[in-house]
Amino acid sequence: MNFFKTGILLAAMTALFMACGWMLGGEGGIIIALAVAAGMNVFAWWNSDKIVLRTYHAREVGPGHSLHGIVAQLAGNAGLPMPKVYIIENDQPNAFATGRNPENASVAATTGLLRGLTDMEVAGVMAHELAHVKNRDTLTMTITATIAGAIGMLGSFAMFFSNRRNIIGTLVVMFVAPFAASLVQMAISRSREYEADRIGAEICGHPDWLADALYKMATGAATIENPEAEDNPATAHMFIVNPLHTRAMDGLFSTHPPMGERIQRLREMAGQAPAARGGPWG
C-alpha cells in the first residue's frame, strides 16, 4: 500500500512541478519541468535518504557505540535487518528514520536525545523509528522531504525569471507553489505516527518508555532550536516530534498529531501491557 501511496505522491509532485513550469515558461516550461521532474523522481528514489542525512551532517556509528547496541537488539525484536545508525550533533532531542526499504534503512538520533534521555527512553524512541521502517513509511517520508524541498526552491528561484509577460505566473510560483507543496506533504496521514507509536511500544515491550521519552522530547523541542530543520522545513515530518518552533511559517509544516493524545494512548497501552519479556529492552 505504501508503494501505491508513494506513486501517487510522486505523480502529484510531478504535476505540481509541471504546473510551475507552465506558469513560468508556457509549453516550453512544461517540457523542461517534465524532464527535470522525471530526473528528480529517479534521483530521489535512490538518493533521498543520503540527501537528508547529509543535510543534518549525520555521522555513522558502529558496534562500539551504545546506540548501535540498542538498535541492534530492537531490530532483532522486530525481525528487521540491522539498519545503519547515525548521530546528529544537535542539542534538540529528536530522531528520525530514512531509507527506501528495510534492507536499506538508516536511523538517526541527535546528541541532545542521547544526553537528555535514559537508555530505556532512547530504546522507546528507536523502537518507534524501527516501526516506521517496518511499516515502510520511510520511503514516502524521505521522498516527500526531497521533492517538497525542491518545489520550495523553485518558488525562491522564480523571481529570477520574472518579466512583464509572466509576472503573474512568477508570483503564483513564488507564493502558491511552496504552500501547495506543503499541503501535499501534510497529506501524509498523521495516523502513521500513532501506528508507529503502537508498534514501537510492542517492539521494545514497554509503552511507558516511549511515553516518557515523548514528554521529554516535546518539552525540549519547544525550547531548543534545530537550525538545520528550520532551514529545511520540508524535512520536519520525518522527526518523531516536530522540530520547528522559531519561525512564523513553521505552522504550515506541522504534520505531527497532538503530543498529549500520543502520550495518552501509550499510557493506556502500558496499563494493558503483559509482563516484560526479559532483557534490557523487553
Could you tell me which residue, 121 or 172, shows the higher pLDDT? 121
Confidence bin at 245 (pLDDT 50/70/90): confident
Other CB atoms closer than 10 Å to residue 119's CB: what's the count? 15
- Under a CB-based contact definition with an 8 Å cutoff, are residues 148 and 40 in contact? no
pLDDT score for 281? 45
- CA dihedral for 252, 258, 263, 266, sign (positive or negative): negative
Q: How many residues belong to the chain?
A: 282
- Percent of the chain scoring above 90 in pLDDT: 46
Average pLDDT for residues 244-252, to the nearest whole number?
A: 60
pLDDT score for 169? 58
User: Which residues face 86 on adjacent strands?
Assistant: 60, 108
Q: Quick one: 199 exposed, middle or buried, by C-beta within 10 A (0-12, 13-18, 19+)?
A: middle
Question: Is the model's pLDDT at 254 over the cut of 70?
Answer: no
- Under a CB-based contact definition with an 8 Å cutoff, are residues 102 and 80 in contact? yes
Q: Which three cell numbers stand for residue 196?
A: 508507529
Closest to 159 (Cα-Cα) out of 184, 178, 185, 139: 178
Of the residues 129, 193, 230, 261, which is catalytic?
Answer: 129
Q: Quick one: 39 exposed, middle or buried, by C-beta within 10 A (0-12, 13-18, 19+)?
A: exposed
> How far is the C-alpha of 242 from the C-alpha of 257, rounded, in Å?
9
- Under a CB-based contact definition with an 8 Å cutoff, are residues 254 and 187 in contact? no
pLDDT score for 234? 75
Could you tell me which residue, 7 or 197, shows the higher pLDDT? 197
> How far is the C-alpha of 226 from the C-alpha of 96, rounded, in Å?
14
Could you tell me which residue, 4 or 185, shows the higher pLDDT? 4
- Under a CB-based contact definition with an 8 Å cutoff, are residues 104 and 83 in contact? no
Q: Which three cell numbers stand for residue 271?
A: 496499563
Confidence bin at 266 (pLDDT 50/70/90): very high
Domain residue spans of the chain: 2-55+140-272
Tell me, yes or no, if 129 is annotated catalytic.
yes
